[in-house]
Amino acid sequence: MGKRTDILSQRIRRSGGLATRHVHSGSHRLQPGGSHFCGTARLRLKEPIMLNQLIVTMIPVMAVVLAGFAYAYRTRIDVSAANRMNTDIFLPALVFSSLATRRFDAGLDGWLVAATAIIVIGSGIVALPIARWMRVEAKTFCPPMMFNNCGTLGLPLALLAFGEGEFSHAMLLFVTTNLMLFTLGAYLIGRDRPWRRVLASPVVIATILGIACSLAGLALPRSLLLPIQLLGDIALPLMLFALGVRMSAVRRADLKVGIAGALVCPIAGLLVAGSLVPWLPLAAEHRSLLFLFAALPPAAANHLLAESCRRDPEKMAAIVVTGHVVSVLFIPFGLSIGLLGAGG
């Protein structure tokens, strides 16, 4: 456990939590006990230590959020400029550098992208009647139920649970979710935002360019790729810090919506995944990865969009932060379901 956690920590520090630049290098494999960790994932995940791994992974995420909260509590700050830089520069750089250095498998990747899209949209459909019953605006409540934290939380957990063999696929789920968030999500959260403006967003353009570079086999020179990666490394920590700043303005009434969203998000995701994933022609480890994805809490990027679109950012912040606290219960449950299916 200690050795594995040290390796993970080193990789996260080198790449801002993603380790994308090392996925295809073929070096630094996680090989506990002399064998690939992903080959023994089903056995190791059944051990109680998995909860400790989850908590260790969540501590830095929540620590950055709390740092933002503490800073805003003592200093009056407006994070709108930082959020704008994140959506225009840092997050597109992260997406581009992740895709440009990735190798695609049309068959497997196609199924994973399709499954991710169905889980995202299906979760929103499940959440819609709940939003109406709670008398909360659907454009505020449903998007965070759809778009979860498969970045700062999902990627480290996938690396711990399945090893490097599945990390590249976890990255694909992350990019797919973010592309949908900044297209479909931006349309839902935005106030009458036209599709032309949505499709011209920097994240969408970065996605197209990254895929084009990968499919063309274009190897960018290190002098060009490294600055892009450094800019991308800023995105996720800044997003979490800004979320903490917004939490300082959350009201008690917003926390009620936050608790409801924290419960609905993983439950809706697991319901959709449970109805879909067992029928897909995927290997056991890929099905388990999708169940992990379905159980994740709302992404901090939901708050980023809500802030830029002025769509109840306090409620969105409450949903995101409360969801991360509750996820300690749902993520092991989601992994257990995936492991049962993998063993069957």
Name every residue whose Cβ is closer than 8 Å to that of residue 43 and which is 6 or more positions away in sequence: none
Domain count, the chain: 1
Distance spanning both ends of the chain, measured CA to CA: 27
Helix, strand, coil % in the chain, rounded to nearest 5: 80, 0, 20
DSSP reduced 3-state for 312: coil
Q: Which domain holds residue 140?
A: 104-194+239-343
Residues 332, 336, 339: CA angle, nearest 5 degrees:
135
Quote the pLDDT of residue 159: 76
Smallest CA-to-CA distance from 237 within 185, 303, 300 is with 300
Region for 146 from its dihedrals, namely left if φ exceeds 0, alpha if ψ lies in -120 to 50, beta otherwise? alpha
Quote the pLDDT of residue 65: 85
Quote the pLDDT of residue 51: 66
Smallest CA-to-CA distance from 290 within 341, 344, 239, 236 is with 341
Quote the pLDDT of residue 50: 59
277 within domain boundaries: yes
Going by the DSSP 8-state scheme, the letter that residue 106 receives in this structure is H
pTM, two decimals, is 0.75
Distance CA 28, CA 34 (A): 13
Mean confidence (pLDDT) of the chain: 79
Distance CA 145, CA 312 (A): 15
250 within domain boundaries: yes
Smallest CA-to-CA distance from 304 within 292, 290, 320, 285 is with 320
97 within domain boundaries: no
User: Quick one: average pLDDT of 331-343?
Assistant: 72
130 within domain boundaries: yes
Residue scoring higher pLDDT (48 or 333) = 333
Given pLDDT bands bounded at 50, 70 and 90, which one contains residue 163? confident
Reading the block at residue 258, the tokens are 């936050």
73 within domain boundaries: no
Amino acid type, 33: G
Q: Find tokens 């991710």 and name the residue.
A: 116
Beta bridge partners of 298: 148
147 within domain boundaries: yes
Beta bridge partners of 148: 298
Residue scoring higher pLDDT (205 or 300) = 205
pLDDT one-digit tens code per residue, 84-126: 898 899 989 988 988 888 787 778 888 999 999 999 999 999 9
38 within domain boundaries: no
Going by the DSSP 8-state scheme, the letter that residue 296 receives in this structure is P
User: Quick one: average pLDDT of 47-57?
Assistant: 62
72 within domain boundaries: no
Reading the block at residue 263, the tokens are 């419960």
- Asked whether the predicted pLDDT for residue 205 surpasses 80, the reply is yes
Distance CA 13, CA 19 (A): 8
